[in-house]
Amino acid sequence: MAAPEQEEAESLKYPGIRHVAALILARGGSKGIPLKNIKPLAGIPLIGWVLRAAIDSGEFDSVWVSTDHDEIEKVAKSWGAKVHRRSEEVSRDSSTSLETIQEFLKENPEVTVVCNIQATSPCLHPSHLKNALKKITEDGYDSIFSVVRRYQLRWKEVKKGSDECTEPENLDPAKRPRRRDWNGELIENDSFHFATRDLIMKEGRLQGGRVAYFEMKPEHSVDIDVDIDWPVAEQRVLRPGVSFAGGPCDTDSGMSSNVSDSEASSAKSFIHSRDTEGFSVSIHSRDTEGLRKLQKNDLKVVLLISEEDVLRQMRFKLKMMTDCEVMLVGEDPLKDVQSMVEKEKLDWKDVAYMGCDAASASCLHLAGLSAAPADAHPDAIRAGKFACKQGGGAGAVWEFAEHVLLQKQQARLQMKQDLIDRNCF
């Protein structure tokens, strides 16, 4: 949230714009894919991808999820969003997005610009929102919406008597355009819509007034509607240069293994960093915060260090910096970690492992939850089930810690639901 003095400065710079809100509509009654808004996509609840885009953009005074469902509300809050509990009147199958947004604005009169973000657009990037908003705050537009440029030749159905014919709609068949000679067409991708309060409340529209578009690249224009869209979207968010929430990644398996509450409470997180050219310790403040959060949630954390001749000097320093157990491992960390897993009487599905070098790949494959920093060795990135946005020493550990705790929370919710289901029969 912006400080009062910041809001005052913004109101002077952009007259009438005092509060910009992001709003994700996430009704619980999805017909195509039940509760798809919180279904894990590449290890992250679908709605988490767009929430991180909104929050990481740093452009919004508030980020909201409008929902009618308890579980969606819990996930939204766990990702840092506020919740607008929508009424029954705007929760029906026939309810429109505009009606829901209008209800939200009535209950939040301070909001002067709202960005409706589609929950099913996981490739949305913070920069898209940041640059689109400038068209309102700096250029004075009333509404902005996202588009993708398509190069598709369209034909329309024509009925002539009993004949079903077709005619060209955007081309001359005698002069079929070459792609390089044609600018294509702008197609709405529904990723997001920015609009002012006046446009929505007074004119009843999301698009109008002085309107402009924001063009997104095809690789970012992903929308999930039916089951067949899911694996395509999962591969897309994990492509190098596309994913922001998980960072650049080329992974073989995007979905994290879920652990039950009892399993998660006894799981361990292993963080392994080794540099064959020499070793340096770099721990981001958010990383240490993430490690402490794991420990507060009854997860034992062990830091693995190698290059024994050098690292013996660093062992005490790491212990003091993180208050975690520190363990030396050899060239193949699997051997040492396997011994610890057996000693603690755990299965590999109970282990959360983070590694950044090629030697970690075997542990990353076996662990129930695993991750690699954005700047890790390609073998480690491919082996990890969760890809981090940040690099080593720059917040990746905190990201993975948040992911582990979210999986634990979801496992607990699932256990409660299973118990309820059993008691109903």
**Residue 46 included in any domain:** yes
Of residues 158 and 418, more confidently modeled? 158
Predicted confidence at residue 162, as pLDDT, reads 79
Gap between the Cα atoms of 354 and 272, Å rounded: 6
- Tell me which H or E stretch contains 320: helix 315-322
Residues 210 and 132 in one domain: yes
pLDDT at 249: 28
Provide the domain limits for residue 20. 4-151+183-237
Mean pLDDT value of segment 68-92: 91
Other Cβ atoms less than 10 A from the Cβ of 54: the count is: 26
189 token code pair: 């991708």
Q: Say which CATH number the domain at 139 has.
A: 3.90.550.10
Residue 151 token pair: 């190069």
Q: Which residues are catalytic?
A: 176
Q: Tens digits of per-residue pLDDT, 212-233?
A: 999 999 888 988 887 888 888 8
- Structure tokens of 9? 């400065």
Q: For residue 167, is it within any domain?
A: no
pLDDT of residue 153 exceeding 70, the answer is yes
pLDDT classification of 391: cutoffs 50, 70, 90:
confident
Q: Which of 237, 252, 272 is the last residue of a domain?
A: 237
* SS3 (DSSP) at 176: coil
- Give per-residue pLDDT as tens, 113-150: 999 999 999 999 999 999 999 999 999 999 999 999 99
Is residue 160 assigned to a domain? no
Residues 33, 125 within the same domain? yes
Considering only CA atoms, which of 347, 284, 279 is closest in space to residue 321?
A: 284
Do 273 and 350 fall into the same domain? yes
Residue 198 has pLDDT above 90, yes or no: yes
Q: Nearest to residue 397, comparing CAs of 257, 286, 280? A: 286
220 and 369 belong to one structural domain: no
Q: The domain spanning residue 380 has which CATH number?
A: 3.40.50.1000
What is the average per-residue pLDDT within 315-343? 68
Q: Is residue 255 part of a domain?
A: no
Rounded to whole angstroms, the Cα distance separating 273 from 371 reads: 13
Closest C-alpha to 371, from 242, 243, 256: 256
Residues 172-193: tens digit of each pLDDT: 999 898 888 889 999 999 999 9
* Domain identity same for 211 and 303: no
Residues 368 and 220 in one domain: no
Residue with more model confidence, 1 or 162: 162
- For residue 300, list its beta bridge partners: 268
End position of a domain, from candidates 173, 202, 237: 237
Quote the tokens at residue 210. Answer: 């002085």
pTM of the predicted model, to two decimals? 0.57
Q: Are residues 374 and 285 in the same domain?
A: yes
The type of residue at 342 is E
Identify whether 51 is part of a domain: yes
pLDDT band at 247, cuts 50/70/90? very low
Structural domain tally of the chain? 2
Q: Are residues 333 and 404 in the same domain?
A: yes
DSSP state at residue 28 = S
Regarding whether 196 and 119 lie in a shared domain, the answer is yes
Mean pLDDT of all residues belonging to the chain: 77
In a domain, 328, yes or no: yes
The Cα-based distances of 213 to 15, 33, 208 in angstroms read 22, 30, 11
How confident is residue 278, by pLDDT bands cut at 50, 70 and 90? very low
**Neighbour count for residue 353 (Cβ, 10 Å):** 30
Is the CB of residue 382 less than 8 Å from the CB of residue 399? no
In a domain, 164, yes or no: no
Residue 266 has pLDDT above 70, yes or no: no
Residue 177, in any domain of the structure = no
- Residue 269's SS3 state is strand
